[in-house]
Each structure stands twice: as C-alpha cells, then as structure tokens.
C-alpha cells in the first residue's frame, strides 16, 4: 500500500473509529436506555420523533437562509442609499456653483449695457475694437449656453438620484418584511422542535442523540463504501488551509441562527467567516454560495471546499480532508466534525477557484 493510500485509509478509518466511539460512548451513558418504557399504543416511536425534530430544524434552516439573504440584501441597499445621498449632495453643490457662474455672466452683460450689437457698432469710434469685443461676446454666449446645458444635465441627474433612492427604500422595506417573516418562522420551528424534545425523558434524550449518530454513521458508511476516497486526493490551496484552520478553531462553539461569530455561528455564517479569514469574501448564505461559487466534482474535492447539502441547498459544511467536514449542525448543537457523506450532498463549490 502506497503512502497516499495509507494516509487515506488511515483518515477514513480514524473517522469511522470516531463515529463508532461516539456511538459506544452514548450507549454507555444511556446504560439501560434500550429498556426504556414501551410507548403507549398509537404513540410515536422515538425514531419518528427524531425524524420530526430533524425536519423542523431543516425547515428552520430554510427560513434562516431566507433571513440571512434578506439581511445581506438590506445591508447592500443601505450602502447604496448612502452612496446616492453622497451623489445628491455633490449634485447640489454643482448646481450652486453653476448658478454662481451664471450670475457672474449676467452681471457682466448688465455692465456692458445690454445694448444690441448693431447699436454698439454704430456708436463705436473704433470698429476693429468693436469686432474684437463682439467675438468675445459670442464666446461668452456660447459659454453661457454650455453652462445652461450642464445645469440641466445636473438637474436631471438629481431627479434620477431621487428615483433611485426611492426604489432602494422600497427594496429595503420589502427585505425588512422578509426578515421579520423568516424570523417568526425560525422561532416557531425551533420552539416546536424544543417542545418535542422537552417531552422526552432523560434516557430518551440520550437515545435520541444515539439515533442521530447512527443515522449519520449509516449514511457516511454508505458514502465511503462507494470508494469515493480513492478518487479524492487533491491537497488544499494556501487560502484553503487558512479557511480550514479558522473553521477548526471554532469547534465546540454553539449554533445560533443568523450568527457569524465570534462566539456562535449558523452553518453558512461559519463557512463565510472562515473564508473571510482566509482573505476571500464569499456569499453569506448556502443557497447563494451554491449559485455564485464555481462547482467542482466530488472526486476533485479538496480541503476548504464547501459541501452544499439537501435538494434545497439549506445546509453547508467545509471539507477538511479524509472524508470529513466541519459544520454548525443546528440549534442545540455545537460546531463539530462529521462525515462528509453523513447528509445528502447536492454539490461541492470552491471559493478560491
């Protein structure tokens, strides 16, 4: 077995051992958990409860992505409004300067008596001097015409700025409403999930964690059994290494929807901040990360790449190598290491392609 193959086998085995150890630890904690009281006829099984809780948190994740996107767009619109305000101030200053120049030209014409050119020629003692003056007058008239045109253009710009500002305010308000709606949905789903968990006995809660880990372990084992790790052999880029280092340093910190650190994160908050720490600004949400970042094949995946999960792209983790990824799972859980195949993979994207 070559060095690369040994490293891959060792990494995969380590991850498998990690999952197995976690399952054994939970089993040890639960002790007689398997002997928990039998549910009443018609009652939901613990596995059904687990799936229901998981689905509620998935729905909360969807709402969180919508909330984060609305928040990101609102920030962009606020910045645009500030920029428009600066343009309006500059335009108003320009109008004032143009009016001052127009006033100076009018005063100069008044001082010349405002007489028609023919009358000035008839009364002039020096026709040559008059013609020179007439040429200057024509130049002045041309300059005045240009001045008025510039004033009109600037006034038109100010009107457009007002329209742009109004449109941005409308978008800002629409996104504020989206945020409020998503926030309510998030809170409702999390509250429902917590209510389900609160009804469980201590041993049932421990068993619930074990069921979660068993489901993840089963999915990861199936993914590894395809031989996928034999194809994944690309090393991380320098910026990818920095992103992984940042993400790894956050392990143990709690999940919190809408959070981007430093003390808590949601899934895309973790990945976006990790890449910001690596010097690369990427979209805030998992759905936007999927839409805007270059996609790569799973066989070409390298540490630092982002794995987008589920058909609706509402979860994201960062691949760290050897079949593992780091992610912020859901409310009530901490940033942790997990199998890259422990959830349905939709796509892999590369921030520094």
What are the pLDDT digits (tens) for 175-193? 888 888 888 888 899 898 8
**Using DSSP, how many helices (H) and how many strands (E) does the chain show?**
9, 6
**What does the alpha-carbon distance between residue 175 and residue 181 come to, in Å, rounded to a whole number?**
10
Q: What is the pLDDT of residues 105-143, one digit of tens each?
A: 666 665 555 545 544 444 455 555 545 555 555 555 566
Cα 91 → chain centroid: 33
Q: What CATH number should be reported for the domain whose range is 3-31+202-349? A: 3.90.1720.10
pLDDT value of position 125: 56
Structure tokens at 210: 């074990």
The confidence band for 37, taking pLDDT boundaries of 50, 70 and 90, is very low
Classify 343 as helix, strand or coil. Answer: coil
Structure tokens at 238: 């320098």
Please indicate whether residue 56 or residue 231 has the higher confidence score (pLDDT).
56
Q: What is the pLDDT of residue 274?
A: 98
pLDDT score recorded for residue 32: 34
pLDDT above 70 as % of the chain: 76
- Using the structure block, give the residue that is written with the tokens 């606020």: 78
pLDDT of residue 171: 85
Sequence spans of domains, the chain = 3-31+202-349, 80-187
pLDDT at 245: 97
Give 8's pLDDT tier (boundaries 50, 70, 90): very low
Q: For residue 273, what pLDDT band results from cuts at 50, 70 and 90? A: very high
Q: What pLDDT, on the 0 to 100 scale, is given for residue 33?
A: 38
pLDDT at position 84 is: 85
Phi, psi of 236, rounded to the nearest 5 degrees? -75, 150
Of these ranges, 116-125, 222-231, 248-257, the one predicted with the greatest mean pLDDT is 248-257
Distance (Å, rounded) from C-alpha 285 to C-alpha 331? 17
pLDDT > 60? residue 36: no
Give whole-number Cα distances, 289 to 72, 249, 275, in Å. 13, 22, 12
Residue labelled with tokens 């007689």: 32
Predicted pLDDT at 43: 56
80-187 shares the fold of 3-31+202-349: no
**pLDDT the model gives residue 133:** 53
CATH number of 80-187: 1.10.287
Q: Are 56 and 192 within 8 A, CB to CB?
A: yes
The percent of residues in the chain predicted with pLDDT above 90, rounded, is: 36
Predicted confidence at residue 17, as pLDDT, reads 38
Q: What average pLDDT does range 222-234 have in this prediction?
A: 88
0.85 exceeded by pTM: no
pLDDT, residue 139, reads 58
The overall average pLDDT reported for the chain is 80
- DSSP track, 7-31: HHHHHHHHHHHHHHHHHHHHHHHHS
- pLDDT tens for residues 299-340? 999 999 999 999 999 999 999 999 999 999 999 899 999 999
What 3-state DSSP class applies to 255? strand
List the catalytic residues.
267, 315, 327
The CA distance from 91 to 155, in Å, is 8
The predicted structure's pLDDT at residue 289 = 96
For residues 15 and 12, what is the distance between their CA atoms, to the nearest angstrom?
5
């Amino acid at each position: 077995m070559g060095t690369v193959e040994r490293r891959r086998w060792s990494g995969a085995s380590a991850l498998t051992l990690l999952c197995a150890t976690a399952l054994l630890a939970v089993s040890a904690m639960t002790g007689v958990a398997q002997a928990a009281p039998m549910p009443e006829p018609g009652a939901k099984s613990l596995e059904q409860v687990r799936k229901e809780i998981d689905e509620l948190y998935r729905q909360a994740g969807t709402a969180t992505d919508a909330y984060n996107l609305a928040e990101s767009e609102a920030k962009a619109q606020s910045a645009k409004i500030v920029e428009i305000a600066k343009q309006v101030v500059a335009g108003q200053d320009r109008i004032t300067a143009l009016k001052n120049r127009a006033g100076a030209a009018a005063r100069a014409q008044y001082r010349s008596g405002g007489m028609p050119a023919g009358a000035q020629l008839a009364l002039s003692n020096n026709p040559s001097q008059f013609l020179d003056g007439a040429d200057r007058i024509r130049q002045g008239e041309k300059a005045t015409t240009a001045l008025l045109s510039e004033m009109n253009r600037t006034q038109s710009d100010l009107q457009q700025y007002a329209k742009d500002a109004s449109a941005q305010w409308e978008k800002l308000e629409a996104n504020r409403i989206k945020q409020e709606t998503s926030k309510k949905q998030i809170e409702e789903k999390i509250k429902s999930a917590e209510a389900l968990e609160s009804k469980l006995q201590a041993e049932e809660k421990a068993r619930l964690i074990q069921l979660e880990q068993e489901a993840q372990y089963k999915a990861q084992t199936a993914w590894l059994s395809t031989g996928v790790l034999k194809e994944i052999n690309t090393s991380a880029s320098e910026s990818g290494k920095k992103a992984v280092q940042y993400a790894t340093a956050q392990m143990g910190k709690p999940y919190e929807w809408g959070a981007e650190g430093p003390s808590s994160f949601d899934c895309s908050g973790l990945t976006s901040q990790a890449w910001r720490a690596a010097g690369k600004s990427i979209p805030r949400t998992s759905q936007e990360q999927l839409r805007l970042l270059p996609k790569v094949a799973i066989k070409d995946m390298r540490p630092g790449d982002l794995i987008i999960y589920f058909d609706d792209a509402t979860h994201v983790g960062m691949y760290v190598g050897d079949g593992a990824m780091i992610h912020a799972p859901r409310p009530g859980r901490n940033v942790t290491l997990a199998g890259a195949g422990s959830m349905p993979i939709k796509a892999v994207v590369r921030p520094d392609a």
